[in-house]
Amino acid sequence: MVSTLNLLQVFVAVCLLTATTYFFVIKRIYYFNHDLYVLEKIQMESENCETCFTSKVPNLIIQYGGQRTATTFQFQILCLIMALLHEDEINSVGCYYSKIFTKMVYKYSVIKTHTLKNFVMDLPADTWVFMTSSNNLKPEKKLVYEWSKRKTIERHIRIPFIAEIDIVSKRGYFIVYEYQDIFGLSDKQMEYLLEYLRYWEILRVCCGVQMSSDWRNQLSPVSNYSQHHDPHSPAYPACEMYNISQVENLMLKTYVFQTFSQIISLHHVIGKPSTADGELNGTYCERCQANITMNNIQFNIPCT
């Protein structure tokens, strides 16, 4: 009798232990996996589901990415697109850099930032966040980028496009075709974009205070300089093959430059190689290059 009772107690104890193990271990694993599933589902919807978000272009566009990941290039594209889309309200379009988000300065705003953590929780729900990235990000910067992307997805804020710098380098200004369907741009608007970016891309690399380091070193050699791009590499800037004043003058004649470059809210972005550069007038690039050669002017220092 005692033996039977002991066996019964052991059996009950084993059952309780099994039930407890199931609840606290198996169920926790389920909850954990379920959370992962939900996060993955949100990400899939954000990136792939065309019916989950309004197709209407929002009033606020954010350009986010770490430095040296083609952030200026995508910012330029987004600013141009918003200007073309709202050409009839052009004084209501503004493009600018900011470290924090408080409120929109203009009715239609394109904001460039390197620190999305100061933005993401305060952004309107219909905001579009465009990102730039690189496979060569340092581990700590990669963690910041992934955190920012995850928080954006968790808030169900749309990320229409992520520009990987390797792809941008290979495709150049033709990557602008990726944005046509996203924004519903007409073929004529695309023609204006391509005309302008064709020349802007050259000036971005070969002219101004943020020109290519390799080209700057050719203009004003520095001892022990380490070349970034071999002359046989597709990424080599090859600025020496351009008549830079001719390129500058061709950009001055584009529809985009003539229409938007003097609008106060766009003036510091559209019509310049970078926001740190002076006014293009047909001779700016040539004078900038000459001053760098004569005075060894460094990165981001005014060159005219």
Domain ranges of the chain: 60-183, 187-222+232-295
Residues of the chain with pLDDT under 70: 1-55
pLDDT at 12: 57
DSSP conformation class of 56: S
pLDDT at 46: 46
Of 271, 164, 259, nearest to 207 (Cα)?
Answer: 271
pLDDT at 116: 92
pLDDT at 75: 97
Give how far Cα 242 sits from Cα of 126, 230, 238, 284, 292, Å.
Answer: 43, 18, 8, 15, 17
- CATH 1.10.260 for domain 60-183: no
pLDDT at 286: 98
**230-283 residue pLDDT tens:** 999 988 999 999 999 999 999 999 999 999 999 999 999 999 999 999 999 999
pLDDT at 68: 83
Q: Which long-range contacts does 232-241 make (Cβ < 8 Å, 24+ apart)?
A: 234/169, 234/170, 235/169, 237/205, 237/206, 237/212, 239/202, 239/205, 239/206, 239/211, 239/212, 239/215, 240/215
